[in-house]
Structure 1
């Protein structure tokens, strides 16, 4: 990766809370104009990592460089270049949509004309131009998140940090939210987003899979899926739980995961599929179809978490 393309560089980043190591020697590089995802379950270290990148929290060890600025040595200077949207973004519910945007624009001394131009563009992109006079407290969850993003972007930051921004948001609002992110990427904005939605992680350019404060892997979604050992079979069935119970613990079965109207079975080898089909037939467990499929990020993550020997 060309050094001139790197806008976020993290080395040996560590944060402890008493006996708990929340982030453990994390190292990563993010390219300019990239959507970079931090993926993992609760307690993986995603929020703590973003807070250190945003200069909200100081690391115990390691270095953070954002847009050429040492975050630890110059926290105030870096805050002018970034925007950080935490899980509970501080909207003022007794202010209107316009008033909230104006408040955040004033914090960064954005001139009035520029503020009005940016607000109009951001609200149009999020389909909220007709709600400018509505109180923030009267907005839906998805609209509050889109307003929070608009407030975060009104000062035109070059780097945006988003901590699980679509948690609890309806599917339509999630899709609209991601359309805004794609538009920002097209403008050269760098985005770091944490998410617990593994299907959402597929939308990122690159991913860091975190668990227990450690990085398991970091790569593109395509390259990460290719790392999954063995093979994945999908069983389509109207009775997924009995099928899961019948295959769990069977020889050669690494893990079994319920997915929509079917079951994903991680096997040690693709040739195991015929054996599993025979086992289901002999057990009287019905299914409609079975085939080898490409793994998703969710399949990969479940496999990694089930591997006690997984190393960063």
Structure 2
């Protein structure tokens, strides 16, 4: 199995404060890999470095055997940020068409991908509405659709199901499994333990460091407990 994402000795410093400290992490191709930890633990900073939106103070990152940042590589990466980056004065369909145009998709392919992505997140009936009239949950769903629009090889999702109802969250995870079975690589950040259980492998992040990693079952066996939440606490995830 080849490695889709390789993070080597990555640190990030703002002033004198380290928000990431010597992160080493490998995500194999075709894996759903979870970064789990509380808000402020460094997950979003790490994701931005992987995508190439931010740079490391030390260390390096490779995605699909290419050092980041790299503009051409972005054609193969789908990214859903924690904050929705949408155009409120455009309709949902116009937003998706805009993002599709960034990836040089032919018109017929754009139409197919917009229909697929909208159906996946249950927004087909709302595509003609302006995004300013969407609820917060609808905006999250549209952001996920935009991340999938170019059929990326690597999908990076930062807290993708926040504000989404349980039924839709279940269908989204079913689709993530389908994409994984197609050979896609998915990196997802979450602080929800039942979502962490769905990942093939986890890295638990605390104060900018990986405190433990492994498959959910291996981590629970290692610590002799049945709860990932307890694993996190035992591994050093308690509040200071």
In structure 2, C-alpha distance between the alignment counterparts of 1:307 and 1:57, rounded to whole Å? 28
Query: How do 1:1-312 residues align onto structure 2 when only pairs under 5 Å count?
Result: 2=1, 5-72=2-69, 75-229=70-224, 295-305=226-236
The higher relative CO (CA closer than 8 Å, separation ≥ 6) is in 2
Could you list the runs of 5+ residues in structure 1 that have no partner in the other structure? Answer: 230-293
**Distance in 2, Cα, partners of 1:153 & 1:307:** 35
Deviations 1:121-178 (A, max 9, x none): 2222222222221222223333222211111111121111111112233323322322
Residues 120 and 145, structure 2, Cα contact 8 Å, conserved in 1: no
What is the aligned length?
239
Q: TM-score, normalised by structure 2?
A: 0.93
Q: Is the 8 Å Cα contact of residues 142 and 173 (structure 1) preserved in structure 2?
A: no
Structure with max Cα Rg: 1
SS of the residue aligned with 1:127?
coil
4+ residue runs of structure 1 moved beyond 6 angstroms? none
Gap regions ≥5 residues in structure 2 = none
| Structure 2: distance between partners of 1:189 and 1:48 | 23
Deviation at 1:307, TM superposition (A): 7.3
Q: Deviations over 1:172-222 (max 9, x none)?
A: 332232223222212221111111112211111100011111111111000
Structure 2 vs 1, CA of residues 307 and 228 (structure 1 numbering), >3 Å: closer, same or farther?
Answer: farther
8 Å Cα contact 2:212/2:235 also seen in 1: no
Question: How far off is 1:119 after superposition?
Answer: 1.2
State the superposition RMSD in angstroms: 1.8
Q: Which moved more, 1:143-152 or 1:29-38?
A: 143-152
Q: CA deviation at 1:93?
A: 1.9
CA drift of 1:32 comes to 1.1
| Matched-pair contact (CA < 8 Å) for 2:35–2:190 | yes
Give the direction of change, closer, same or farther, for the CA distance of 1:134–1:40 in structure 2 (3 Å limit): same
| Mapped contact 2:200–2:215 kept (Cα < 8 A) | yes
